[in-house]
Structure formats: C-alpha cells, structure tokens
C-alpha cells in the first residue's frame, strides 16, 4: 500500500514526465473516443470501430517497412491509408445487396487483421533492429508516447469537438431519423461514410495508448454507460466525455502505479466497471 501511495504522489507531483504524458494521453484517448462514441452507438456502428482498429495494423507495418523507422508521419499515414481502404471495402461490400452490413464488416475485419499480423511478423525480422516495439501497436504502450503523439491526440480532440459543434444538427437528426435527414437536404449515406472515416482517425491516434485490439472498446463502453442514464443527447455527450476521460485517467494511473499493468486493459476495465454501475443505477431508478 505504501508503494502505491508513493507512486501516486510521484505522479501527482509531476516527478515523472513520461508518467504524466501517458496518463493525460490516455485521458485524451478516452475523452475523444467517448465524444464520437455516442453517435457510433446510436447509429449501431460499433463493429465499424472494431474493424477500423484491426485495419490499422497493415498500415503501421507498411509505414515502417517503407520508411525503415517508426517515424510518426509514416506510421500514422500508413494507418490512415489502411483504415480508409477498409472503410471503402465495407462501403463497396454494403453496396451489393447480397452482402449485409455485419458480413461486410466481418470480412473486412478478418482480412485486414490477418494482413496486419502477416506484415508485422515480416517486419519483426527486419535486420535493422528499428522494429523494436512495433508490436506495441497491437496491444498498446502508453508509456512510450512521445510529445508529438500527445499533441497529435490533442489536435484530434479539438478537431472532433469542433466538428460535433459545427455538424451537431446533422449528427442529431441522422442518428435518430435518417429518412427525415434525407428529406431536409442532407445525405445520410455521406454522413455515414464521413462518420466511418472519423472513427478511423480517432482509432489511428489511439492505438499507441490502447492498441489496435482494444481501441474500439473506448468508442463503445463509456458512451453506452452515459446512455444508460437516459439523459438528453447533449447531456449524454458531455457525460460520455467525462466518463471516457475518467477511464483514461484511471487506466494511466493504474499502469504507472502497478508494475506490469497495461494502460489499455486498465482503461477498458475501468470503463466496464463504470458501465456496470450506470446499468445498475438505471435498473434501480426504473
């Protein structure tokens, strides 16, 4: 117990710069994911986030193989290109009447995940040694977060918050009534595709903290917890963001204080406990 208190005071006192960066970076991941996640859950696009998370792997590996380094522009650029390709694959498969949405997402998920594992395995045999830590993108490694990655996360958060404010009416209407959305001049399919690309962007900048496997979880759990409270949409988005940030802070703290605890799993577990609490509260109130 004394060690836990000592490590906590060390973190709060700012004595560990990498600990603070990892903790607040995890909070930004939770915050940004939860902001977007409300609309993801309402539109039943949760599996899209899972597909996007797994689709980052081929891009991460390809970016490394092309550049020979883990340079952020190459890694993020490759991941974004890979997620964009997966999104287009899903859209094209959905366009065929014989392919349901679930089947389209499932095919895309397993294909890009398999390709990613294959490329990462190949990259691990790269003779330069620069591939060390590349597999961290699979399960996340917030402790290795750089200042550039932190500020990239912050930039995506600001852009996401601004986009929600600017397109609030379109997001609100299309989430509840796509037919009405179409009747007043908005293209629901275009909004859906835009949301899918947006999901991909958030997932790409999240993989450093939570990993490709768990990135989609933060898009779903905190928003679902907020939706359990049966609030207005605006209040739900705000509460979801708070719960997402809280999950990130808890995950970052746990990974710093307890040796061997990963930030991503700790974040997801914290969010799951919060979800269970709000679900119990909902049933108690009803």
- Using CA atoms, how far apart are residues 249 and 247, in angstroms rounded to an integer? 6
- Cβ neighbors of 280 (< 8 A, separation 6 or more) are none
What's the CA gap between 282 and 97, in Å, rounded? Answer: 39
Q: Is the pLDDT score of 276 beyond 90?
A: yes
Q: Is the pLDDT of residue 23 over 60?
A: yes
**pLDDT tier at 221, thresholds 50, 70, 90:** very high
CATH superfamily of 2-131+142-279: ABC transporter involved in vitamin B12 uptake, BtuC (1.10.3470.10)
Cβ contacts of 250-255, under 8 Å, gap ≥ 24: 251/26, 251/30, 251/142, 252/19, 252/22, 252/23, 252/24, 252/25, 252/26, 252/27, 252/142, 253/8, 253/11, 253/23, 255/22, 255/26, 255/142, 255/143
According to the model, what pLDDT value does residue 128 have? Answer: 58
Asked whether the predicted pLDDT for residue 279 surpasses 90, the reply is yes
Tens digit of pLDDT for each residue in 83-106? Answer: 888 888 887 877 665 557 777 888
Among 222, 220, 163, 174, smallest CA distance to 197 is for 163
In this prediction the pTM is: 0.85
Q: Nearest 5°: phi and psi at 177?
A: -145, 80
Instruction: Return the pLDDT at 127.
Output: 63
Mean of pLDDT values over 66-81: 82
């Amino acid at each position: 117990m004394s060690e836990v208190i000592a490590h906590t005071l060390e973190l709060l006192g700012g004595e560990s710069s990498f600990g603070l960066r990892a903790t607040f970076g995890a909070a930004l991941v939770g915050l940004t994911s939860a902001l977007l996640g409300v609309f993801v859950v309402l539109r039943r696009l949760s599996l899209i986030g899972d597909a996007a998370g797994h689709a980052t792997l081929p891009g991460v590996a390809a970016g490394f193989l092309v550049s020979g380094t883990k340079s952020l522009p190459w890694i993020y650029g490759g991941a974004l290109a890979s997620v964009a390709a997966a999104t287009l694959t899903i859209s094209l498969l959905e366009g065929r009447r014989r392919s349901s949405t679930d089947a389209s997402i499932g095919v895309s998920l397993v294909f890009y995940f398999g390709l990613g594992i294959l490329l990462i395995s190949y990259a691990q045999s790269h003779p330069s040694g620069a591939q060390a830590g590349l597999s961290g993108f699979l399960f996340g490694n917030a402790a290795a977060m750089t200042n550039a990655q932190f500020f990239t996360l912050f930039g995506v958060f600001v852009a996401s918050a601004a986009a929600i404010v600017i397109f609030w009416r379109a997001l609100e209407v299309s989430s509840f009534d796509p037919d009405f959305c179409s009747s007043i001049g908005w293209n629901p399919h275009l909004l859906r595709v835009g949301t899918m690309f947006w999901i991909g962007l958030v997932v790409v900048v999240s993989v450093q903290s939570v990993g490709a496997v768990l990135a989609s979880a933060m898009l779903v759990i905190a928003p679902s917890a907020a939706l359990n409270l049966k609030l207005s949409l605006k209040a739900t988005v705000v509460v979801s963001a708070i719960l997402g940030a809280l999950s990130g802070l808890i995950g970052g703290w746990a990974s710093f204080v307890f040796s061997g605890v990963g930030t991503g799993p700790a974040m997801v577990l914290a969010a799951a406990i919060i979800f269970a609490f709000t679900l119990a509260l909902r049933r108690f109130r009803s």
